C-alpha cells in the first residue's frame, strides 16, 4: 500500500483524492490546507480522522506518514512547497504549472537534483480531439 498525502484540498486536490481512492494499492492517509472549508471537504473525501488533517504542509511532512504526496495548491506556492517536499525525500506529483516563472522552475529542478524518488509534474487531463 502506498500512503499518499494531498497538499491543497481544493478543486484539484479533491479530484486527486477521489482518483487515488479508486486505485488499488493507494491510500490517502493525510491532507493539508490552510483553509478550514477545504480541510473539511478533504477530510470527508479521504475518509481520515482529524489527527491526519493538517493546516500546514510542513506539519504533514514532519509527521513522516506519507510515501508520496500530491501538490495541488495555488501556482504561486509550488516553488516553496516543492523545496520542502523534496527535502523530506518523498515521491511527488505536482500539479501543473511547476512554477510561475523560469527562475522558480529552475529552483525546483535544482532542489530535485539527486532526489531518490519520483518527481512528476502532472497534467491530469488530456485533450481528446472530437474526431
Ligand atoms: N491538471 C489540470 O487539469 C488542472 C486544472 C485546474 C487546476 N490545476 C492546477 O491545480 C492546482 C490547484 O488548482 P485548483 O483549481 O484546485 O485551486 P483551488 O483554489 O480550488 O484549490 C487550491 C487549494 O490550495 C489551498 N492552499 C493555499 N495555500 C496552500 C498552502 N500553502 N498549502 C496547502 N494548500 C494551500 C487553498 O486553500 C485551496 O483549498 C493549481 O496549480 C492549478 O494550476 C490543474
Label residues 36-66 b or e (16+ Cβ within 10 Å = b): eebbebbbebbebeeebbbeebeebbeeeeb
> C-alpha grid cell for residue 104?
522558480
Query: In testing the pocket of ligand 1, which one of 7, 9, 69, 74 has its CB within 8 Å of the most ligand atoms?
Result: 74
Quick check: 6 and 69 in contact, CB under 8 A? yes
The domain spans of the chain are 7-122
pLDDT of residue 130: 72
Residue 45: its H or E element: helix 36-46
The CATH number given to 7-122 is 3.40.50.720
Per-residue pLDDT tens over the stretch 2-51: 999 999 999 999 999 999 999 999 999 999 999 999 999 999 999 999 99
Residue length of the chain: 131
Integer Cα distance of 122 and 120 in angstroms: 6
Integer Cα distance of 35 and 8 in angstroms: 9
pLDDT of residue 123: 76
Per-residue pLDDT tens over the stretch 61-88: 999 999 999 999 999 999 999 999 999 9
Integer Cα distance of 121 and 28 in angstroms: 19
Ligand 1 is surrounded, with C-beta below 6 A, by 7-13, 32-35, 38, 57, 72-75, 77, 95-96, 123-125
Residue 32: its H or E element: strand 26-32
Distance 56 CA to ligand 1 centre (A): 14
pTM here? 0.95
Amino acid at each position: 500500500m502506498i500512503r499518499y498525502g494531498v497538499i491543497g484540498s481544493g478543486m484539484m486536490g479533491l479530484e486527486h483524492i477521489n482518483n487515488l481512492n479508486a486505485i488499488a494499492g493507494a491510500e490517502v492517509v493525510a491532507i493539508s490546507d490552510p483553509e478550514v472549508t477545504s480541510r473539511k471537504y478533504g477530510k470527508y473525501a479521504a475518509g481520515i480522522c482529524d489527527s491526519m488533517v493538517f493546516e500546514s504542509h510542513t506539519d504533514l511532512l514532519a509527521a513522516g506518514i506519507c510515501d508520496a504526496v500530491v501538490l495541488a495548491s495555488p501556482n504561486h506556492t509550488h516553488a516553496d512547497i516543492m523545496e520542502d517536499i523534496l527535502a523530506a525525500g518523498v515521491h511527488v506529483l505536482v500539479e501543473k504549472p511547476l512554477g510561475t516563472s523560469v527562475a522558480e522552475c529552475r529552483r525546483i529542478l535544482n532542489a530535485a537534483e539527486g532526489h531518490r524518488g519520483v518527481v512528476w509534474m502532472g497534467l491530469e487531463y488530456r485533450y481528446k480531439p472530437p474526431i
